[in-house]
Every structure is written in structure tokens, then in C-alpha cells.
Amino acid sequence: MKPTLLLVFVVLVLAPGRAAAADPVPDRDTQIAAAVLAAPEDRRAGAAVLGYDADGALVTLREGSNDLVCLADDPAVAKVSVACYHRDLEPYMARGRELRKQGVDDKQRGPARWKEVEAGTLKMPREPRTLYVLSGSAFDPAAGAIADAYERWVVYIPFATEESTGLSTTARSGGPWLMDPGTAGAHIMITPARPK
């Protein structure tokens, strides 16, 4: 095998996480600036921030002083998506990330975690906890903004049902609805209509 082909093979096959990256990992301050945009403005300064090191591993970029944890954009994914959530959701979120790394697909990650919550092996708060998600096409560090930004909210209420909340389980653009009712991952989705 020619040296050039061998190098391509090593990069694409043996290091798929970084080879698939849309962009190099941004510096710490850029990751923090983008991540906290998902949080309410008055909660940003005190939020803890998780982000990525040069190898693409998730690390703590900043310790927090309030109850929010913000997750920086994954540089291995082309579009931008940042999120902030109540710190009590971290075990549930961390377990989701572990399952993803293990190759568990999106449809199975939720049910796998729900079983663990029900078995008492995964901690999940019983009271409502909020997740803020902000996505878009790119982050502009100079402007401190995400282009084509779309914001949505999730309020986890484990084991909530239509009867306990009065919410419909039918997806509703622009208003709240209940997703995964009756499970440990039951949550209220608030999804505004996307800008045209």
C-alpha cells in the first residue's frame, strides 16, 4: 500500500471520531460563549459548561455556580446544537451520551434509560426539570450568535401522563405537548414554529 493511501486509511478507519469532524475543536472560550446561548440570559454567567478537548473527548470547560449545566456544540457534527439543563438531569444526560458511544440508536436510548431509572440504577429527579436547546447552521464568535437559530424547550416530568398534566400527547407546533407519557423520560415539549 502506498504511504499516502495508508495515511488516508489510518485517518478514516482508525480515528473515525475526529476524521468525521465538521470543524476543528474550537477553543475553550468560543465553546463556552456558544454553549451558554441556550440558557436564559440571566442564568448564563453561573452555568457550568461541558465541552470538547482537542481529541474530541467531553471535558468540563467551566465549573458553575448555579443549577445549570450547558453542553457545547459537538464539533464532529456539521450543524450547531447547544443545550443547557438542570444539573439534576446530568446523570440521565451522561448515560444517554454513554449509550450513544456504545452504538445504541436514538430510539433505544430512551427506553434503556427508563428501565434503569425504574430499577433504581440511574438517578432521575421526580420533580420537573428543564432542558433548553438552541440549534442553527453556524456559530459566529465575533457576533456572539448562532445563525438560523431555533430554540425549543423540554420540561422533564418523570412518569407524567395526559391525565396528570392535562396535556395532549399529539405533537403541536407552537405549543406544549407531552412526549413519552408514563415513562421515566416523560417530558413536555415546547416547540415553536420554525422561521420560514
pLDDT in tens, 118-168: 999 999 999 999 999 999 999 999 999 999 999 999 999 999 999 999 999
Structure-block grid coordinates of residue 40: 436564559
Mean per-residue pLDDT, 79-99: 97
Strand 68-71 and strand 48-52: the pairing is parallel
Query: What's the confidence (pLDDT) of residue 16?
Result: 38
Nearest to 84 by CA among 110, 101, 62, 106: 62
Number of H helices, E strands in the chain: 6, 10
Give domain status of residue 52, yes or no: yes
Asked if pLDDT for residue 3 goes beyond 70, the answer is: no
- % of the chain surpassing 70 pLDDT: 88
Query: What's the confidence (pLDDT) of residue 78?
Result: 87
- pLDDT confidence band for 23 (50 / 70 / 90): low
Query: What's the confidence (pLDDT) of residue 174?
Result: 86
- Based on the structure, what is the number of domains in the chain? 1
Q: For residue 145, give the amino acid letter.
A: A
Give domain status of residue 148, yes or no: yes
Structure-block grid coordinates of residue 81: 446544537
Nearest to 83 by CA among 96, 75, 95, 93: 93
Mean per-residue pLDDT, 95-111: 95
Give domain status of residue 41, yes or no: yes
Average pLDDT, the chain: 89
Q: Are 49 and 32 in contact (CB under 8 A)?
A: yes
Phi, psi of 188, deg, nearest 5: -90, 125
Report which secondary-structure segment, H or E, holds 163.
helix 162-165
Give domain status of residue 94, yes or no: no
Give domain status of residue 138, yes or no: yes
Give domain status of residue 67, yes or no: yes
Give domain status of residue 2, yes or no: no
Structure-block grid coordinates of residue 175: 405549543
Q: Are 72 and 35 in contact (CB under 8 A)?
A: yes
Query: What's the confidence (pLDDT) of residue 8?
Result: 33
Query: What's the confidence (pLDDT) of residue 35?
Result: 98
Mean per-residue pLDDT, 162-190: 95
148 three-class SS: coil
Which residues form the domain of 35?
24-88+124-190
The neighbouring-strand residues paired with 51 are 59
Asked if pLDDT for residue 70 goes beyond 90, the answer is: yes
Asked if pLDDT for residue 1 goes beyond 60, the answer is: no
Q: For residue 63, give the amino acid letter.
A: E
Q: pTM for this structure?
A: 0.85
Phi, psi of 191, deg, nearest 5: -125, 100
